Amino acid sequence: MATLTAVNHRPVRIPVSEIVRYVALAGLGILFVLPFIWMVSTSLKETGQAYRFPPEFIPQPLTIKNYESLWGGPIPFDRFYLNTVIVVIMAEIGTLTSCTFVAYSFARLKWWGREVWFVVLLATMMLPFQVVMIPVYIIFRTLGWLDTLLPLFIPTFFGNPFYIFLMRQFFMGIPRDLEDAARVDGAGSFRILWQIFVPLSKPVLLTVAMFTFVGHWNDFLGPLLYLSSVDNMTISVGLAMFQGRGGANWPALMAAATLATVPILVMFTLFQRYFVKGIVLTGMKG
């Protein structure tokens, strides 16, 4: 009777260099995550627990009163949150709308001076905000928009050079055969943009949306310049105000910082796949 011979399985050998690499990456990852863990941990502590040494990463007991104090306290953090959400939503609408139209024009439409104006557009990226800060402030003061949220999102409806560049490069990578077939069927430029380019451009659109979200959520200089009343402040300025008034209360300050950080983490977690894809595909043609 035939006997079955056991199959010899060779042990998998992992190079030492690869083990060292993963250990180093894991160590760096823990090192970068520690400040966030400490922030969340401190936000769940009593005031006295925050100053204990060695620090407790798992506080005993846990408390959420620091989060409760943000609503109804002397500093209207709930109002800061609402103002920031309004600014971010309007900025997303303005940026995606304006940049999509302008990028499509630079990528697909033929008009006189297109390449020259594209170079001019890129040249504006060299201008730091500090150069135009005073003229822009004077314009908003003349319009009577100071101490309102309008200066924080109205400029987004006029495009952003960097986002236009990203979207233009992505649009140029879309095959022209799709556009030509649509024009043969009688579709105009707007219909082609809406029904062909936009559905195919989800990675770059989400990338621009994420950049816009983070930029306006964390914007500090704009609100500091244009806003003066407490009820109109955003989260970034509110955190600085919170630290100035109650800097000694670290648990409450860390609770506010945690609430300000969580939306960004959630957005990157949900859309990081599209974010990486948008960055990789942008610039493959152009």
CATH number, domain at 226? 1.10.3720.10
Task: Output the CA torsion 44→45→46→48 (10° steps).
Answer: -160
Contacts of residue 96, defined as CB under 8 A and 6 or more positions apart, other chains included, come to: 205, 208, 209, 212
19: tokens are 């083990």
Q: What is the pLDDT averaged over residues 221-243?
A: 86
180 and 41 fall within a common domain: no
26 and 104 fall within a common domain: no
Domain count, the chain: 2
Domain boundary among 5, 37, 63: 63
Percent of the chain with pLDDT over 90: 28
248 and 164 fall within a common domain: yes
Domain carrying residue 81: 76-281
Q: Tokens 């190079």 identify what position?
A: 15
Residue 38 within a domain: yes
53 and 165 fall within a common domain: no
How many of the other CB atoms lie within 10 Å of CB of 232?
17
Say which range, 24-28, 51-55, 98-102, 106-110, has the weakest mean pLDDT. 51-55
**Residue 35: band (very low, low, confident or very high) from pLDDT cuts 50, 70, 90:** confident
Instruction: Rank 40-44, 54-58, 169-173 by mean pLDDT and report only the highest.
Output: 169-173
- Cα 115 to Cα 112: distance, rounded to the nearest angstrom: 8
59 and 83 fall within a common domain: no
Mean confidence (pLDDT) of the chain: 83
- Cα 27 to Cα 14: distance, rounded to the nearest angstrom: 19
8 A C-beta contact, residue 264 and residue 244: no
pLDDT digit string, tens, across residues 75-86 = 788 889 899 999
215: tokens are 């930029």
237 and 205 fall within a common domain: yes
48 and 82 fall within a common domain: no
Indicate if the pLDDT at residue 24 is higher than 70.
Answer: yes
31 and 102 fall within a common domain: no
Amino acid symbol at 30: I
58 and 80 fall within a common domain: no
Indicate if the pLDDT at residue 216 is higher than 60.
Answer: yes
169 and 196 fall within a common domain: yes
State residue 95 phi and psi, 5-degree precision.
-70, -50
Residue 107 within a domain: yes
3-state secondary structure of 212: helix
Q: Is 102 exposed, middle or buried (0-12, 13-18, 19+ CB in 10 A)?
A: buried
State pTM to two decimals: 0.82
Q: What is the pLDDT averaged over residues 232-236?
A: 90
223 and 131 fall within a common domain: yes
